[in-house]
Structure 1
């Protein structure tokens, strides 16, 4: 799956979590723009891990601040 495919699938996963209907761009932040709390982040990450059969470490999660970084991280983990 290329980066665009990864992006499209993550957007589908994010939709039910996007309670405010924010338009998601590469720069959209999870904490400020989407207002994800820690429990929402855990649930969202768990869905992504299940969908892509990957593990996103706590260190990696701490470094991911916006949507584009998440797509890059997932794509890189899938390619590894």
Structure 2
């Protein structure tokens, strides 16, 4: 699966792959492999990216076009 949304969100913010990789505490090459669909992302990485980009995991996966995050329980 190619995660086009994470590339779009990163580029919209003018962030480098290295910057996002640093936020995730991973290697840039690993992050690049996620964007290009070479490696699948773990649920933990998807959740962290949704927090970084302030969106939902469903949006990152292309399951919805609604970019706003879902309300969190208890907030």
> For this structure pair, what is the TM-score category when the shorter chain's length is used for normalisation?
0.3 to 0.5
Provide the TM-score with structure 2 as the length reference: 0.41
Provide the TM-score with structure 1 as the length reference: 0.39
Q: Which has the higher helix share?
A: 1
